[in-house]
Structure 1
Amino acid sequence: MNNEKIMDIRQIMEMLPHRYPFLLVDRILEIEPGVRLKAYKNVTMNENFFQGHFPGLPVMPGVLQLEALAQAGGAFVINSFDEPLHDKVFLFTGLNKVKFRRPVVPGDQLVLNVYYERHKLNIWRMRGIAEVDGQVTAQGEFSAAIADKGDM
């Protein structure tokens, strides 16, 4: 694929504003600007959310799977623009048709697939599918807006 890029955690941190404990994308494997993105999050027992979700039965919260997809979506949008998005932030505006299919547990590698649906002005719509070992864990449709940091 001609437009393929691979980004490590340092490059992701240059692009996304999220930091520990909320940065949920470890590596970007594939990007086709304006088409799709594939990334992953390695899930370890050291994740802080496992302390309370659930003691003795660690399960990654579904909402954090969606957040990981949203962060991958942000990286997708940023890489779909020709010019840098300085002083901009990518904010969730909606979720639709969300389904959770299987638990995500320590030791899993959560693969994050984001697909472009459409955009108009500063609103982007994407479809996200999270998987572990080829099995869908979470999926849904996402919308997000690009906003000026100074307006927040």
Structure 2
Amino acid sequence: MYRNLGIDKVKEILPHREPFLFVDEILEVEPGVRAIGKRTFTSNDFFFKGHFPNFPIVPGVILIEFSAQVSASMILLHDEYKNLFGYLSGVENFKFVKKVQEGDTVIAKCEMLDFRHSVAKSKVELFVNDTLIAMGIIKAFFVNKNSLGGEF
């Protein structure tokens, strides 16, 4: 079990970088089982300029990506899977209950449902101030980093 992994540790775990790294902190993770991550959306986020002027709302696809990044930490912190690279491969039954605005801190609670044949499936619930704002299933396909030819 890991707790309170700040942005520097998040960058060691996830390959994403600004402006597409959406995890500020991993609050808690039990590798291969569950993870809880946090993101505070601020006026500096690139998408608020156009989504929407004078009424900034976090796009649903950004919330899905944030969920996928927190979910990936469950896999990538597992000793057996440290050399993997994940691709978002599917979203099932994702529902948005409330909007997320500039200044909101979103907590993602992710639970591994299944990981076989290189595909991880996790249940995600997103909260702002203990209020459920979105939920669904994230699927990701994982490959060995060495097979990609890049440096990670």
What is the TM-score when the length of structure 2 is the normalising length? 0.91
Check conservation: 1:62, 1:138, Cα contact below 8 A: no
Whether 1:72 aligns to 2:88 is no
The match for 1:35 is: 33
Shift of 1:85: 2.4
* Distance in 2 between residues matched to 1:104 and 1:5, nearest whole Å: 25
Whether 1:82 aligns to 2:79 is yes
The match for 1:56 is: 54
Question: Match of 2:48, SS?
Answer: helix
* Distance in 2 between residues matched to 1:83 and 1:34, nearest whole Å: 10
* Distance in 2 between residues matched to 1:115 and 1:4, nearest whole Å: 15
Matched-pair identity in %:
32
1:59-93 alpha-carbon deviations (Å, 9 max, x no partner): 000110010000001111112x224523x311111
The match for 2:139 is: 143
- List alignment gaps of at least 5 residues for structure 2: none
Shift of 1:121: 2.9
Question: Counterpart amino acid of 2:90?
Answer: G
1:90-129 equivalences under 5 Å are 90-129=86-125
Aligned CA-pair RMSD = 1.5
Shift of 1:101: 0.7
1:99-125 alpha-carbon deviations (Å, 9 max, x no partner): 001111111101011111011131111
Question: Match of 1:39, SS?
Answer: strand
Check conservation: 1:66, 1:138, Cα contact below 8 A: no
Shift of 1:151: 4.2
Question: Counterpart amino acid of 2:134?
Answer: A
